[in-house]
Amino acid sequence: MRIKILPLFLVISFLFIFFIFFKGLQNSNIYSPDINNEKDIPFFETKILNTNDKVNSKEIFISDKFYLLNVWASWCIPCKDEHPYLMDLSVQNNIEIIGLNYKDNDKNAKNFLKNMDNPYKVIFLDKDGTIAIEWGAYGVPESFLIYNKRVIKKIIGPLNKNSYSEIINLIK
């Protein structure tokens, strides 16, 4: 009798474990951040890349105007890919592009802009990455569309044809 119970117990245990793993594989473990929540822009103080003047976010972002805050770095390969879209946006009359230079060397950042052209009205320095964290950035590049001192759209990753079109439609 004991010999027949052991195989039955093993089969039931195997089926139970198989069922748990099977259910676990059906659940998506992919984390996708909520990128459509509007929120107020965070307050921060920092220096400007070319002048080293101190500035705070309340002095830059004014109401009734669109801004695109772009988190970038000279060492970031996707930042080079999105640069033509930033250059195209920089000629639009109803939006200002502001750069947040993330954990970068000033000389490298200046050389990057010298070689690729500068789409930014002003560039803030974020030497230790804390400003990007306050904005909710996960890495570089990321962009935040701002209107009336509120983030109305967050774009994770480099700008592309679709995100460029979406920004153009939102600022019209």
Report yes or no: 39 and 134 within 8 Å, Cβ to Cβ.
Answer: no
CA angle 83, 86, 87 (to 5 degrees): 90
Mean pLDDT check: name the lowest of 23-32, 56-65, 67-76: 23-32
Read out DSSP for 43-106?
P-EEEBTTT--EEEHHHH--TT-EEEEEEE-TT-HHHHHHHHHHHHHHT-TTEEEEEEEES--H
CB 160 within 8 A of CB 143: no
Which pLDDT score is estimated for 36?
A: 52
The whole-number pLDDT of residue 69 equals: 96
At 129-138, the pLDDT tens digits run: 999 999 999 8
In the chain, where the domains are located: 39-171
Report residue 145 as tokens.
Answer: 């569309």
Helical ranges in the chain per DSSP H: 2-26, 57-60, 77-90, 106-116, 130-135, 161-171
Higher-scoring residue by pLDDT: 109, 35: 109
Q: What is the pLDDT of residue 2?
A: 59
Q: Given this structure, which CATH class describes domain 39-171?
A: alpha beta
Q: Judge whether residue 157 has pLDDT over 90.
A: yes
- The backbone torsions φ and ψ at residue 116, rounded to the nearest 5 degrees and listed phi first, read -105, -10
